[in-house]
Structure 1
């Protein structure tokens, strides 16, 4: 009879358990590999590192182009000659129309090529400012307006694709925020040349703030060295030639960097690659979806808020920058004022996106309405003066917070109500937003500021009322659905 050894029995059992555990681990690894390589409804699965790298490339490319475009819009509206605001109005009017066909273009061309071609047109747009004549600037603004809608649609589509992929790859809940950075560049202009842009009172002081009204004609006293005369150069900046060329060169460099970052580091992230080609929506179907979005009663209730967002952004870029900042502080302070606006808007959007999980949306709407109403009242009663420059930064920062509230509420509403078909509602939203921007720039040199502030207040009421009603209906529907699920 063989001797019984408990030690050998235990060692044999341990080896058997080790083999079983190693075999189980290898089986789990093979299962994970199979799952990752198996087609899903979201297309192929990418690693977290690849997705985050594409997100960084998307943000950097967009930030560099935006850092050049937004200061140019503010300068063109604030210190340009007679036709500058009309060019911006035409640009955003075409952008509102191009946003309707943007989903079709993005679907046919792809997000990557749409962004590359759009940013390339932005490079041409900035480059033509080196030769500022009506024959170069009018086509440049019209062409950029045509590409503005597809650029926005491609950027949001790529961002939503990355968010869907990240939600599938990682196990913990993560959020990806698209932060827009704005920056400006200083430009010096003699005071007597800026005086031609403003009305003067009896004591030969500028009329600033809500009392400012548009000047019918602009005739600078010293045309030598100034890019503004009474004939063909009424479309360009009232800036010295060297300053205009330097700004255009800096903006062109930023846009070229944006194109390079987008083309070099942005991968082709496939979404519905395993879907049957016959089931993919065609261009006609995408256009039909956009047309149906105008008949959606929920989007009809949200449309006034999109118009208000465009109006208030246009007011800040055109009227606040000119009648408040440039009039009281001077042109070099425009960059710092809008830098404070952009910084607080980014911070507020990041904070609000996390707070919406724990705070009722009605509270956020009420806070935004009260804050924005107070800001409009301040701008209506306040007479800006250079003796207290801190108020300009406080007001612009508070305005950025209000803008973040409305944009975050509007965007989260679209992606929540339309989680799988948000392209057409997004095009509907940007159509009305660009329409509001076009209207704001078109009225920049048409009516006085106090009328614009009253119009903004009325539009705020008309926008918040239907949007609040929409949120109430959606919240009651969600509660009813949750109650039926728990039964």
Structure 2
């Protein structure tokens, strides 16, 4: 018989859960809670903690904050630029330029006193030939410098000066001396241009444009100071030689050459008159009048002094060989020199600078120095001119850098015109032996002013070598005319010509200054 159903068993509702497995489940005693979203969890807001929730800010405030951040970044970069040290010029470049300045000073120690020593005596016409050649070669100086280079030009010029001075230590005939003067003149203008190019090359390594201008002014100032100090040292060597090897000339010899070339000797009684010096010295000096007074160098002293100058020129050649750059200069600017205002308006000032420099080295030394107190007074005049010229060039260069060039030109014109009038009316007296030195020193200060003003305008900038070569040509032309006037014109006529040249040079310089200022204003 079959089994009967269990009547005690109840019917159970169907479970919604699945049957548990035999394997033990770790969650069998607790209910598994589904994961709660993170954004529904409540966090404790501590008062010292900042909320990370973004805060909505108005658009205007956002723009202001963005501008403030940008300005802060700009201010920080400006502060970094201000605190950053400027780039220094490489030390080897400074060393080589220093040696070049020393070489230029040594060459000036030899050449400038020799020019005064020969120009005051019988060597004015050979000097005129030398500077005429330099004036002819000057427009081609940029091309010569480009083909040969700075080192070859400077070294060759110093070697030729050494050869010219060495030829005066022996009995060299005039037929050989005159070609030597002409050959030496060929290298004078390229040498001056090479020195200016060396200063601009030094300035290119100074950094930005402002620092380059400052470095260029300092480089030109160093070259000018070296040349002026060379004149002072050469004059001191001349004074020392006069003390060691004096030659007393026959006192109070007055020889006048008449129109028919007949020589008339004046008596001693006439020479002792009160106004004999006024007729022979100062502005009354003429080529047909020769007046010998005081001490001069004897033959042995002249030979030794010129040999010493030649040795200094040789040392300058050695220093220039190492100090000058070996690479050739960059090609000259393709712009026309004729259309450049610096060439056209700078030529009158260059001519006047050459005229006044030639006058002080030849006629002034002769009729205001040697004629009054002999060479013992002439070397003092040279020394005073060089010393005050060096001091004035250094101080006036700083004043011209501040933009006061027109005022400096006006003051220099007034001072130079007053000096010309004083030399025209001055009566030479042996009791005023210091007056020639003082007048020469004042003349040197005026010469330094004109050189600083013209170099500050013409040297540097775009295409400056062509106009500067034209200015150098005008300077050497003025030197040649002054040396020729020493043997052809009276001093009074030379002073009148200098006054006219000063007026034209000042007008041209002021016109050039105003024109360059107008160009810079339009460019800015």
Smaller-chain TM-score bracket: 0.7 to 0.9
> Does the residue aligned with 1:166 lie in a helix, a strand or coil?
coil
The 8 Å contact of residues 161 and 271 in structure 1, kept in 2 or not, is answered as: no
Question: Which of the two has higher C-alpha Rg?
Answer: 2
Q: 1:298 to 1:169 in 2, by over 3 A?
A: closer
2-side partners of 1:194 and 1:388: how far apart? 18
Q: 1:58-97 CA distances to partner (integer Å, 9 max, x unpaired)?
A: 11101111101011110111123xxx21111100000111
1:150 maps onto 2:190 in alignment: yes
Distance, in Å, in 2 between the alignment partners of 1:128 and 1:371 is 40
Aligned residue in 2 for 1:59? 101
Match of 1:128 among 167, 172, 181: 167
Q: Deviation of residue 378 (structure 1)?
A: 0.4
Q: Which residue of 2 aligns with 1:443?
A: 485
Superposed displacement of residue 464, structure 1: 0.8
1:215 aligns with 2:288: yes
Look up the SS of the partner of 2:401 in the other structure: coil
SS at match of 1:384: coil
1:356 aligned counterpart, secondary structure? helix
The answer for the alignment partner of 2:314 in structure 1 is 256
CA distance in 1, matches of 2:121, 2:141: 32
Distance of aligned partners of 1:191 and 1:209 in 2 relative to their CA distance in 1, 3 Å threshold: same
| Conserved 8 A contact 2:459-2:465 | no
Output the TM-score relative to the length of structure 1. 0.76
The answer to whether residue 514 in structure 2 is matched with residue 472 in structure 1 is: yes
Whole-angstrom distance in 1 between the partners of 2:498 and 2:198: 33
Give the Cα–Cα distance (whole angstroms) in 1 for the partners of residues 505 and 167 of structure 2: 38
What is the CA-CA distance between 1:296 and the residue it aligns to?
3.0
Which residue in the other structure is 2:115 paired with?
73
SS in 1 for 2:250: helix
Deviation of 1:398 after TM superposition, in Å, equals 1.0
What is the match of residue 458 of structure 2? 414
Residue pair 1:51, 1:166 contacting (<8 A) in 2 also: no
Which residue pairs with 2:144 in the alignment?
105
Is the Cα contact below 8 Å between 2:134 and 2:186 reproduced in 1? Answer: yes
> Which of 278, 301, 309 is matched with 2:353 structurally?
309
Deviates more, 1:421-430 or 1:145-154: 145-154
Q: Distance in 1 between matches of 2:358 and 2:281?
A: 18
After superposition, the C-alpha distances for 1:412-436 in whole angstroms (9 at most, x for unaligned) are 11135xx031111110000001001
Correspondence for 2:177 among 113, 117, 137: 137
What do the CA deviations read for 1:179-236 (whole angstroms, capped 9, x no partner)?
21212213434332894687887722451000111127x799xxxxxxxxxxxxxxxx
Change (3 A) 1:310 1:201: farther
The partner residue of 2:496 within 454, 465, 480 is 454
Match of 1:268 in 2: 325
Structure 2 runs not aligned, ≥5 long: 1-79, 258-264
1:239 Cα deviation (Å)? Answer: 5.4
SS in 1 for 2:486: coil
Q: Assess if the C-alpha contact under 8 Å between 1:88 and 1:141 holds in 2.
A: yes
Distance 1:121 1:54 in 2: 22
Counterpart contact for 1:198–1:212, Cα < 8 Å: no
Q: 2:299 aligns with which of 234, 241, 246?
A: 241
Count of residue pairs the alignment pairs up:
404
Moved more, 204-213 or 394-403: 204-213
Paired residues of 1:212 and 1:448 also in contact (CA < 8 A): yes
Q: 1:386 deviation in Å?
A: 2.3
Partner-residue secondary structure (3-state), 1:447: coil
Map 1:19-418 onto structure 2 (within 5 A): 48-80=90-122, 84-132=123-171, 133-167=173-207, 174=215, 175-176=218-219, 177=221, 178=223, 179=225, 180=227, 181=229, 182=231, 183-184=234-235, 185-186=238-239, 187=242, 188-192=246-250, 195=253, 203-204=270-271, 205-206=276-277, 207-215=280-288, 240-263=298-321, 265-266=322-323, 268=325, 281=331, 292-415=336-459
Question: CA 1:196/1:69 → structure 2, altered by over 3 Å: closer, same or farther?
Answer: farther
Residue 171 of structure 1: CA displacement?
Answer: 7.2
Structure with the largest fraction of helix? 1
1:296–1:267 CA distance, 2 compared to 1 (3 A): closer
Deviation at 1:367, TM superposition (A): 0.4
1:228-279 residue CA offsets vs partner (Å, 9 max, x unmatched): xxxxxxxxxx95321221122111111111112222x41536588xxxxxxx
C-alpha separation in 2, matches of 1:479 and 1:156: 27
Aligned-pair CA distance for 1:47: 5.1
Change (3 A) 1:219 1:158: same
Q: Could you tell me whether the CA contact under 8 Å between 2:253 and 2:291 is conserved in 1?
A: no
Instruction: Confirm or deny: 8 A CA contact 1:198 1:327 kept in the other structure.
Output: no
Q: Which runs of 5+ in 1 are unaligned?
A: 1-27, 37-45, 221-237, 273-279, 483-487
2:37 corresponds to: none
Question: How does the TM-score come out when normalised to structure 2?
Answer: 0.71
8 A Cα contact 2:164 2:181, kept in partner: yes
Alpha-carbon separation, structure 2, partners of 1:60 and 1:198 = 45
Range with bigger deviation, 150-159 or 364-373: 150-159
Over residues 279-301 of structure 1, what are the superposed CA-to-partner deviations in whole Å (9 max), with x where a residue is unaligned? x63xxx67x76xx3234344212
